[in-house]
Amino acid sequence: MLMDGTAAARRIVDQAAADAATLTANGVTPCLATVLVGSDPASVTYVRMKQNRSAKAGIGSWHVELPDTITTGTLVAALTELSQDPDVHGILLQHPVPPHIDERAAFEAIDPAKDVDGVTMHSFAAMAFGEPGFVSATPGGILRLLDEYEVDPAGKHAVVVGRSPILGKPVGMMLLARDATVTYCHSRTADLASYTRQADILVAAVGRPRFITGADIKPGAVVIDAGYNPGNVGDVDFDSAAEKASLITPVPGGVGPMTIAVLLEQTVEAARRQLVRR
């Protein structure tokens, strides 16, 4: 059975839109600032998609575009300015930034109260400690999709392939917080398939097209493909995996729309919290 991220995301965005309308009626229109460094075509598309979805949900957007020749200092200054701007409620720095820029330093310039993409160390720590904060959007979207399909991670063996700070690592920690037994795999894992074949819940977050095939999957597993590679191809070989899985996300239309939905939901929540604090 397909896990329809587009439909689940629509429900989240509809609620976010209703909440945004209430806030707007109270004098505050939620605003998401997107920051793009350089002109990588995939990043340009992702940012545009986020702006379009924001507009449809009644969320204002503010866009900052910087050339790929800028320094870390210039990017940090731009993000600091947005962090201090009372009209901006959420900030998204499109990942990845050009290699000469210190991406971690840039992320840390985002005020945690506006970190609606959940990329700062503060947000990561809050998630790890189970304290309030904004979760990393893609892992947050994955957990929401599991909830939509009534997949309870408690007691299940979740295997996460990938350990990046914005995807693999936090999704494993969120599954752990929901009482799954979690195994992380990465590029140095020996005999990867011996782990993936034990997974009740398998999360692919590798960045390699069709890397995981049906032969690597336990019959009846829930398969979440977070990968998004050129040509709209995931990290899972969908056709062979679908023969083994009980539930599987398509690419596109699985994790991607859920990521944007969580981003918008958290932007509205950030605006609400900032209004309450006034």
Which residues are designated catalytic? 50, 94, 117
Q: Which of 187, 215, 219, 243 binds ligand NAP (CB under 6 A)?
A: 187
- Member of 30, 118, 133, 256 binding ligand NAP (CB under 6 A): 256
Quick one: residue 58, left, alpha or beta (phi over 0 = left, psi -120 to 50 = alpha)? left
219-238 binders of ligand NAP (CB under 6 A): 226-229, 235
Minimum CB–partner distance for residue 95 and ligand NAP (Å): 7
Q: How far apart are CA 181 and CA 147, in angstroms?
A: 17
Please, what is the minimum distance in Å from the beta carbon of residue 184 to ligand NAP?
Answer: 8
Our finding on whether 205 is near ligand NAP (CB under 6 A) is yes
Question: What SS3 state is found at 212?
Answer: strand
- Does 5 bind ligand NAP (CB under 6 A)? Our answer is no
Minimum CB separation of residue 154 from ligand NAP in Å reads: 25
Task: Identify whether the C-beta of residue 183 lies closer than 8 Å to the C-beta of residue 169.
Answer: no
CB 53 within 8 Å of CB 84: no
Distance in Å, CB of 168 to ligand NAP, minimum: 5
Q: Whole-angstrom Cα distance, residue 19 to residue 169?
A: 30
Q: Among 6, 183, 189, 198, which residue interacts with ligand NAP (rule: CB under 6 A)?
A: 189
Closest CA to 50 of 28, 27, 33: 33
Choosing from 97, 199, 255, 268, the residue that interacts with ligand NAP (CB under 6 A) is 255
**Is residue 257 part of the contact set for ligand NAP (CB under 6 A)?**
no
Rounded to 5 degrees, φ, ψ at 255 are -70, -35
